[in-house]
Structure 1
Amino acid sequence: MSALTLAGAVRGRGPALSLLRRYGVYAALAVLFVVAAVLDGGFLSAGNVRIQLFQVAPTLLVALGMALVIGTEGIDLSVGAVIALAAAVVPLYIGWGLPVALLVAVALGAVSGLAGGAMVAFTRVQPIVATLALMIGVRGVASLVNGASAKPVTDPALLRLGAEAFAGVPWTAWLAAGCVALTAVLVHRTTFGRQLVAVGDNRRAARLAGLPVRRVLLTVYLLSGVLAAVAGVLIVGHGAEADPANQGRNVELDAITAVVVGGTPLAGGSVRVLGTVAGALFMQLTTAVLTQHDVHSSITKIVEAAVICLAVYASRERGTR
């Protein structure tokens, strides 16, 4: 093959690969949806759809915050521990009413996020190291606060929020949809969103250009902590108990997977909000389909690992600049 022929082949393949990387998650989600509907006649039933929305909403909230952090070329491993901390304080303050318990949980999530953001922004600690240390510490605080034991929660308002629906759609899904809309506006329609992308694309250049790099980093980690705390409250409401020893386990991995599968590169410089939604739904439906067809959990984990590897490889290609 001549050099000209090879060059033409590469040029022809480029647009196709670009389209696949940009829209592949939507195509994969559509195919998975059709396959699931064909294999299981009850997959499209209202009850099953509500179950899937209940289960994906907390992960989606965490993934939105993770997408913002990854957009700055960072990572937040502390979100699972923040969920546990939020769950731990709910039984302590729910007697004052749901708004007070939610406010306390969100405040603690914000403080945790600020702590991680401060380590990244001011001490220049690697995000994975800073948030790993925070993950261990916050999980320990959650265990101390709650006594490392599950506690029932019987507040009617919280249980309604975690279990009831409006117009056939769970309240948790409505809340997640609102957060998706706000995140999309923040990323695509505000100065902060442009600053976030610039910081992730080239932090040194952003600093030399006079952008508020530290403020951007503090904000994205704060938002990640707040969204994780809200997810923790929703998990407590849906399960009717606070169990910080188990709630939030491995959710950071699910969130990172949703973000990467959705097309946000780990190299930063881009945030795909709708792609993150599609990624979260894709991973949720993949797990649900395999579970409903009695596929062993070990096989399910292998499939999820393969999806993660493919997504990370695609992310590496997207992130090449």
Structure 2
Amino acid sequence: MSDGSLSGGKAVSRTTPALSLSTLRTHGGLIALLLILVFNALFTPNFLQVQTLFVNISQVATIAIVAIGMTLVIATAGIDLSVGAVMALAGALAPLIFQSEFGTVYPALGIAAAFILPLIAAGLCGLFNGVMISYLNVQPIIATLILFISGRGIAQVLTNGNLQTFSNPYFSYLGTGKILGLPFQGWLALALAVAVYWLVSRTIFGRYLLAVGGNEKAARLSGAPVRMVKIGAYVLCAFLSGIAGLIVVAINSASDAARNGNLMELDAIAAAVVGGALLQGGRAPIFGAILGAIIIQLVKYTLLANGVEDEVALIAKAAIIVLAVYIQQARKE
């Protein structure tokens, strides 16, 4: 009887940590979000006000859009450090285009060009990253570091290092408009998440994407176009970063190449990892990235609203990444 009890005790001791890890893996993000919301509701002044909701949605939207793109890149076992620089570049181009002579003479075409051309430029940045990684075999962290350094420099050269202010209600709607009383960029982030989720879960590209990240050698032997899949992931990531850059410019009615997208790569990576993306590739939890973005934004808001310095918020984000990676590693054991 005692032996049976002892073996039973051992079984319980073995399964309890596994159950705990399983709970964290499956519901950890939701549990963390619930705890943050409860804390803010109880201790953070004005948290339950509508204006606070709008501010957080506006901030979450840009993080979420970039995090969706980062999730695609991480799904290929890559990383993209250039997302903030791409935001700065796209944001710098937009006001320059519709304030140019062409935009003044043909205002409707100027506005259209201010949306389209910066996104094309962002896509070309992603193409640069993808080609460097896929064809020149440059490590993703090095390839995207090149654009991380040069992209923001190009944006500052284009604007002569000056703040570009403007007043254009059509362009500003991207950042200040509302639908059903909620910020337009929040709806846009949700629509992009649905579109990318469909791309990943319902198309051949999505199947190839997960196959490349899961086992690149096996994917190549099975006939998957590995290089093109990687290029596609980086182009989509840069394209989404360009959208986020335009949103920031539209919110502020100003383009600041030195600040637009600054440290966004940290937020995007943190949101993707917290949302369940595996750094070794093979998974693309798109809506998990949205959840991760909400958590990252609320952590930052909670600390700042309670008088904690911004530098501490950076440390908190780093700690969140470490915890998420630890949980991922524990899955393998």
Give the shorter-chain TM-score range: over 0.9
Equivalent of 1:17, from 10, 21, 27?
21
Partner residue, 2:290: 277
Shift of 1:18: 2.1
Partner residue, 1:29: 33
Partner residue, 1:145: 158
Counterparts of 1:42 and 1:134, CA distance in 2: 40
Shift of 1:42: 2.6
Amino acid at match of 2:221: L
Q: 2:312 aligned with 1:299, yes or no?
A: yes
Amino acid at match of 1:260: V
Kindly indicate whether the alpha-carbon contact (under 8 Å) linking 2:134 and 2:227 is maintained by their aligned counterparts in 1: yes
Counterparts of 2:129 and 2:253, CA distance in 1: 30
Equivalent of 2:85, from 81, 85, 89?
81
Partner residue, 1:173: 186
Greater shift, 61-70 or 182-191, is seen at: 182-191
Amino acid at match of 1:83: M
Q: Map 1:101-180 onto structure 2 (within 5 A).
A: 101-180=114-193
Counterparts of 1:156 and 1:97, CA distance in 2: 13
Equivalent of 2:112, from 89, 92, 99?
99
Amino acid at match of 1:89: L
Amino acid at match of 2:38: V
Kindly indicate whether the alpha-carbon contact (under 8 Å) linking 2:270 and 2:317 is maintained by their aligned counterparts in 1: no
Counterparts of 2:133 and 2:327, CA distance in 1: 26
Q: 2:81 aligned with 1:68, yes or no?
A: no
Shift of 1:41: 5.6
Equivalent of 2:218, from 177, 189, 205?
205
* RMSD over equivalenced CA pairs, Å: 1.8
Greater shift, 279-288 or 29-38, is seen at: 29-38
| Per-residue Cα deviation, 1:102-128 (whole angstroms, up to 9, x for no partner) | 101100010000110011111121111
Q: 2:241 aligned with 1:240, yes or no?
A: no
Shift of 1:3: 8.2
Shift of 1:7: 5.8
Q: Secondary structure at the match of 2:244?
A: helix
- Between the aligned residues of both structures, percent identity stands at 39
Kindly indicate whether the alpha-carbon contact (under 8 Å) linking 1:84 and 1:142 is maintained by their aligned counterparts in 2: yes
Greater shift, 303-312 or 52-61, is seen at: 303-312
CA spacing shift, 1:25–1:149, aligned 2, 3 Å: same
Greater shift, 112-121 or 17-26, is seen at: 17-26
Greater shift, 8-17 or 110-119, is seen at: 8-17
Counterparts of 2:247 and 2:274, CA distance in 1: 24
Q: Secondary structure at the match of 1:125?
A: coil
Shift of 1:314: 1.9
Q: Secondary structure at the match of 2:124?
A: helix
CA spacing shift, 1:219–1:3, aligned 2, 3 Å: farther
| Per-residue Cα deviation, 1:119-157 (whole angstroms, up to 9, x for no partner) | 111112111111111221222221221111111021111
Amino acid at match of 1:53: I
Greater shift, 204-213 or 184-193, is seen at: 184-193
Amino acid at match of 2:222: A
Counterparts of 2:81 and 2:138, CA distance in 1: 14
Partner residue, 2:106: none
Q: Map 1:256-275 onto structure 2 (within 5 A).
A: 256-275=269-288
Shift of 1:173: 0.7
Shift of 1:302: 2.8
Q: If you compute each CA radius of gyration, which structure gives the higher value, 1 or 2?
A: 2
Equivalent of 1:40, from 44, 54, 61?
44
| Per-residue Cα deviation, 1:256-314 (whole angstroms, up to 9, x for no partner) | 00001111111111111111111100010111111111123333333222222212222
Counterparts of 1:151 and 1:139, CA distance in 2: 15
Greater shift, 57-66 or 182-191, is seen at: 182-191
CA spacing shift, 1:118–1:7, aligned 2, 3 Å: farther
Q: 2:232 aligned with 1:219, yes or no?
A: yes
Amino acid at match of 1:58: T
Counterparts of 1:176 and 1:213, CA distance in 2: 28
Q: Structure 2: where are the runs of 5+ without partners?
A: 104-108
Counterparts of 1:257 and 1:286, CA distance in 2: 12
